[in-house]
C-alpha cells in the first residue's frame, strides 16, 4: 500500500522523537519531560494511521483533529525541554519546525475534507 505525505512525515517525525528520547535518557538522564514528548510525538502518526483507515470521513477528521492536539502538546514539551536546557538550540530549531509543519498539514487536510464532504 502506498503511503501519503502526511503518513510519511509523521512517521519520520516519530522516529526523530524516539531518537531524541533515547538521547535524553542516555545523555541527560531526563525521563519525565522526554517521556511526555515521546508519547505525544509518536501519537501524532498513530492517529493519522488510524484515521487513514477509517470507514467514514467524519471518523477520519476526528482522528486527524486528535493528531493536531497531539502535535500542539508535543510543541509544548519541546519548548520546555529547550527552555530548561535539556536540548540545544540546534536540536530545537531542527525538530520544532517539523512539528509545526505537521500541524499545518493536518489543518489543511481537515479543512479540505470538511469542505469537500460537507462535514
Mean predicted confidence (pLDDT) in 71-100: 98
Q: Which three cell numbers stand for residue 81?
A: 525541554
Question: Is the pLDDT reported for residue 52 higher than 80?
Answer: yes
Q: How many CA atoms lie within 13 A of 48 on its CB side?
A: 30
Give the residue-averaged pLDDT of 26-46: 98
Three cell numbers, residue 30: 531526563
Using one digit for the tens of pLDDT, what is the confidence trace for 107-116?
A: 999 999 999 9
Statement: the pTM of the whole predicted model exceeds 0.85: yes
Q: For residue 56, which phi and psi values (nearest 5 degrees)?
A: -125, 150
Q: Is 28 helix (H, G, I), strand (E, B) or coil?
A: helix
Long-range contacts of 86-91 (CB under 8 A, 24+ apart): 86/24, 86/28, 86/30, 86/33, 86/34, 87/20, 87/24, 91/20
The band of 1, judged by pLDDT with boundaries at 50, 70 and 90, is low
Amino acid at each position: 500500500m502506498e503511503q501519503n505525505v502526511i503518513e510519511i512525515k509523521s512517521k519520520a517525525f516519530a522516529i526523530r522523537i524516539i531518537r531524541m528520547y533515547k538521547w535524553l535518557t542516555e545523555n541527560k538522564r531526563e525521563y519525565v519531560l522526554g517521556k511526555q514528548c515521546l508519547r505525544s510525538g509518536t501519537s501524532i502518526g498513530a492517529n493519522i494511521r488510524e484515521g487513514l483507515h477509517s470507514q467514514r470521513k467524519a471518523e477520519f477528521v476526528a482522528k486527524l483533529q486528535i493528531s493536531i492536539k497531539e502535535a500542539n502538546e508535543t510543541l509544548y514539551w519541546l519548548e520546555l525541554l529547550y527552555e530548561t536546557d535539556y536540548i540545544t538550540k540546534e536540536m530545537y530549531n531542527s525538530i520544532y519546525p517539523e512539528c509545526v509543519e505537521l500541524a499545518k498539514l493536518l489543518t489543511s487536510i481537515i479543512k479540505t475534507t470538511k469542505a469537500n464532504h460537507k462535514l
